A and B are shown apart, each in its own frame.
Chain A
Amino acid sequence: MASHEEPEDIQVEVEREEETPREQPPARAKLHPNTCPVCKSHYREDELRAVLRVCTVCGHHFPVGAEERVEQLADPGSFRPLAEGLRSADPLAFTDLRPYTERLSEAEVATGLGDAMVAGAATIAGMPCVLCTMDFTFMGGSMGSVVGEIFTRAADIAAERGIPLISVTSSGGARMQENILALMQMAKTVCAVDLLQESGVPYVSVLAHPTTGGVIASFAALGDFVVSEPGALLSFAGPRVVQETTRETLPPDFGRAESSLEHGLIDAVVKRDDLKAELGQILRLCAGGTLVPMEPNGDAVVPPPGVVARVLRFLRQRPHGDAHTNGGHA
């Protein structure tokens, strides 16, 4: 029986990326990461950075690393990182073709990150928020104990301070090398969202290519606002697994952001150029709400009928300033 969730490793993603060009004469060498896979325009690194890694010719969105995403979205100098000292352990002593620890150190060196998620407090268009971003180049953006813990801490801080949480996800799903502990991060991050919702704190989930498996099936699906970048693959099971299990020909836009929008799974597809403005707008709208305080059990505090009238009557009858002096005497 095939797998039903595809917490993919980065190699799998590389294969998938090659699928489109393969329809043309087979490419002899792998594309340079700064060459557009759609129109083959090539960019120097600084050029690509300057255009937010969006192809100026065809609009293809290149992947963005976690730290660069923060630079793109947060107001300059506003980002205050949290949970920087977290690193993955190897609780299962897991070895596939290579030991997990080796893959980890390689990812650390390649990305300069501690794990696949970066989080911190920031402002976006002047509005305060807690921002988490994921990095697909760190082991396929897979979620293990560290990613789960970073997200949970970010959500806890957002809930405590009453400032909105924004996550930008890019992940193959749960990290197989931590097996059941990785699976449990789904429940853990959902619990973190539950606390946010109970506290009446807004959560905006931005889905970047690809957001699949255990990440889209946990916190990333639960945003009050869920938006996606164009062309992003957003599915629980990867196309390969679906293909192998069902033996159907998949629609060409299977699981893509545009198709997800059509099926009512997300609120909007937002181009990267517009993403910061869109987030700023959402944050401003959220700040304009009239928040009803919530009790810990999740029920809104609504005074029973008649209470408001009685309080008003009491206030009208009360001699001016008496409440304070009476309190002092008692």
Chain B
Amino acid sequence: MNSRLPTPFRGLRRRLAERAAESDIWDAVQLARDDGRPYTLDYADRLVDDWIELHGDRAGTDDHAIVAGVGSFRGRTIAIVGHQKGRDLKERAFRNFGMAQPQGYAKARRVFALADRLGFPVVTMIDTPGAYPGVEAEQAGQAAAIAQSMLAMTRLRVPVVACVIGEGGSGGALAIGVADRVLMLEHSIYSVISPEGCASILWRDVNQRRKAAAAFKPTARFSYELGVVDVVVPEPSGGAHKDVDRAARLLGDAVSQALESIEAEPVELRRAARRAKFRRMGVWLEDGVLVGEKEHDAEPAVQTAD
């Protein structure tokens, strides 16, 4: 039918479709950043009993952009480590907008080690625009802190589940994202750079952020199609903030399923399996043949939210 249209209209239709796709993806970005969206502590509150929050890197700092703690989750003790954003102006400043300093990643590492020693599965919650880009953060080794946090996660003997619950921004997000299973909430995003950053570098104009977002497709569905995410977790209609209790239940179910499937695998192979999972990531051409394309069902493995 398309082919019967005169050429200029075909172009118009294509442009309209592009525009529509662009605004879909931009809506997703805005939803993922909605300040009503539940943050790590909102989920911790609803997912676990007997929650004890843990503080500090044991070296002089407690970074409030990363929260951590232990609690009882459906019959087992787990450790939760996640980024924490703030809701009002004061809390946002206190949480540094969810942007961690190197000391925050040191805090995460300390809690990973504790969980590993005591046999608590680790559940991380990713929700950050990125690691904090500051002079002092750089001088304290932001890059190394991120790398070491990832390295620490590859070594854990306990099951590790990572959940992208809002904004998965770049290395600061992935620093706590090296897991046996990676879950992503339906309306969250995961990307190598913010749409604004991408636009200002590639388009040389930060106002092209909608175009940038459409080009790099940071949505849950696309991350799933590329094999980066194992499960897309459904949210209540309209987004997690419309019904936080229900969103937490749905996330809890997905985490619980993921933990069970990890626990069913032999523990002595866990580290090698986690390594192998990330080893497979990427798509490239080898001697002209495409390697690494994921074979998936067309639709991600979400249950409907009803």
Chain A residues packing against B (C-beta within 8 Å): 1-9, 12, 85-89, 91-92, 94-97, 144-146, 148-149, 152, 174-188, 190-195, 213-214, 216-222, 234-237, 241-242, 245-246, 248, 250-251, 254-255, 259, 263-265, 296-298
Contacts and interface: CB of A to CB of B under 8 A. Distances in A.
Contacts of A217: 131, 142-144, 146-147, 171, 175
A5 B130 CA distance: 7
Contacts of A213: 171
A187 B212 contact: no
Nearest to B294: A91
B150 interface: yes
19 contacts: A3-B194, A3-B198, A5-B130, A91-B226, A92-B215, A176-B192, A176-B193, A179-B191, A181-B282, A186-B146, A190-B154, A191-B154, A217-B143, A235-B138, A245-B133, A246-B133, A259-B139, A296-B268, A297-B157
A188 B271 CA distance: 13
B283 A89 contact: yes
B279 interface: yes
Contacts of A190: 147, 150-151, 154, 178, 278
Interface residues of B, number: 73
B138 A222 contact: no
B200 interface: yes
Nearest to A9: B201
Nearest to B191: A179
Contacts of B175: 217
B224 to A, nearest CB: 10
Given A219-B147, A221-B148, A3 B286 contact: no
Contacts of B151: 190, 193-194, 222
B216 A8 contact: no
A5 B142 CA distance: 11
A71 B286 CA distance: 25
B217 interface: yes
A175 B170 CA distance: 11
A220 to B, nearest CB: 8
B138 A7 contact: no
A209 to B, nearest CB: 15
Contacts of A87: 284-286, 288
